[in-house]
Amino acid sequence: MKNIIITGGYGQLGVACKKYLKKNFNIVITGRSESDEGVKLDITDKNAVARVYSKFEPDVVLNLAAMTDVDGCEKDKLSAKKINIEGVKNLCQNFTGHFIQLSTDYVFDGLSGPYSELDNAYPISYYGETKLVAENWLTNNFNNSTIIRSNVIYSYTKRTNASFVKWVVDSLKDNKEINVVNDQWNNPTWTESIAVVIKNIVDIGLTGLYHYGDKDFMSRYDFAQLITKVFNLDRSLISPINTSSLNQTAKRPLKSGLKTEKIESELGIVPNSVENCLRKIRNNLSK
C-alpha cells in the first residue's frame, strides 16, 4: 500500500482528501502546528522535510500547504516566496515519487476567462506570481509531477473558516448583512469534488497540468444567492458590490474560472453542479 504525505492537511481540502484516500493508502497528515491527527511540518524547513520523509518514506506527496492570503502575500512577499516557491523546492529535494501540487486560477489575469491549460498565464497579484513560479519550476525540474489548478474551493466543516460558503451561511444565520462582489466570475469547487479528482490522479499516476472546477460559472454574488436558496436563508441580507470598492491591496482576476475538458477526457470525470454540491453539504449537516 502506497504512503501518501499530505502537507497543509489540516484545512478543508486536506480533510476531504483524507476521507477519499485513506481506504486505499497509508495517509500521513502534516501541518505547521501540533495535532493529534497529524505530524508537525514546516515545508520551509529543509531539515524538517528530510526528517518526515525519512520516517514515513512517502510514495506520493500531495502539497496543499501554501500562503493563500492574497493581500498578505502582497504585503509580505518574502514569506509568500518562502512558502509558495521555496517550500515546493524543499519538498521535491531528495524525493523521486509522485508530487502533486495544488495551484490556482490566480495565475491568470482574469480578462478573458474561463481558461484552459493552453492559455497563457499572466498573474496580476504576487500570490498568483508565486504559484506560477512554483508551477514552472516543477514543469522544468520534476517530471513526475501533477499540477492541479482549481478555484473558489469551499466546504462546511469545523475547519472551513476560509470557506465562502461557511462565511455566507454563518453570517445570514446570525442575521448579519453582508456585501458580496458581483464582478468576480469563477466555477466554485467543492472540496469533495476535487478530492475525488486527486484520488483518481493518484490511482493511475497521472502527471502533467490540469484544470478542475465544478460545472457552473457564476459571479460570487450569484453563488451567494444560490447558497441562500439551498440553505433557506434570507437573500435580502446580501448586497452586491464591485471589487474596486473593497480597496484591496492585491488585484483580483475578475472574469476567471477554469475549463475542464482535458481532465474530463483523460479521467472520465463529470463535474458536479454547484447546486447539487451545496445540497449534499446541507444534507450532511442535517444528519
Is the pLDDT at 39 greater than 90? The verdict is yes
Q: Give the number of other CB atoms < 10 A from CB of residue 121.
A: 19
Going from N- to C-terminal start, the domains of the chain cover 3-155+188-216+258-272
List 256's β-bridge partners, or say none. none
Cα angle 216-72-12, degrees, rounded to a multiple of 5: 45
CB-based contact 236:178 (threshold 8 Å): no
| Residue 59 CB partners (closer than 8 Å, separation 6+) | 2, 3, 4, 97, 98
pTM score: 0.97
Q: Give the number of other CB atoms < 10 A from CB of residue 26.
A: 15
CB-based contact 187:258 (threshold 8 Å): yes
pLDDT tens-digit map of 46-80: 999 999 999 999 999 999 999 999 999 999 999 99
| Residue 120 CB partners (closer than 8 Å, separation 6+) | none
Rounded to the nearest 10°, the torsion over CA 249, 243, 169, 194 is -80
Q: Which CATH number fits domain 3-155+188-216+258-272: 3.90.1300.10, 3.40.50.720, 2.40.50.40, 3.30.420.40?
A: 3.40.50.720
Q: What is the 3-state secondary structure (H, E, C) of 184-250?
A: CEECCEEHHHHHHHHHHHHHHCCCEEEECCCCCCEEHHHHHHHHHHHHCCCHHHEEEECHHHHCCCC
Is the pLDDT at 243 greater than 90? The verdict is yes
> How far apart (Å, rounded) are the C-alpha atoms in residues 105 and 256?
7
Phi, psi of 211 (to 5 degrees): -105, 140
pLDDT tens-digit map of 104-142: 999 999 999 999 999 999 999 999 999 999 999 999 999
Average pLDDT of every residue of the chain: 96
pLDDT tens-digit map of 165-220: 999 999 999 999 999 999 999 999 999 999 999 999 999 999 999 999 999 999 99
> How far apart (Å, rounded) are the C-alpha atoms in residues 229 and 212?
25
Phi, psi of 3 (to 5 degrees): -100, 130
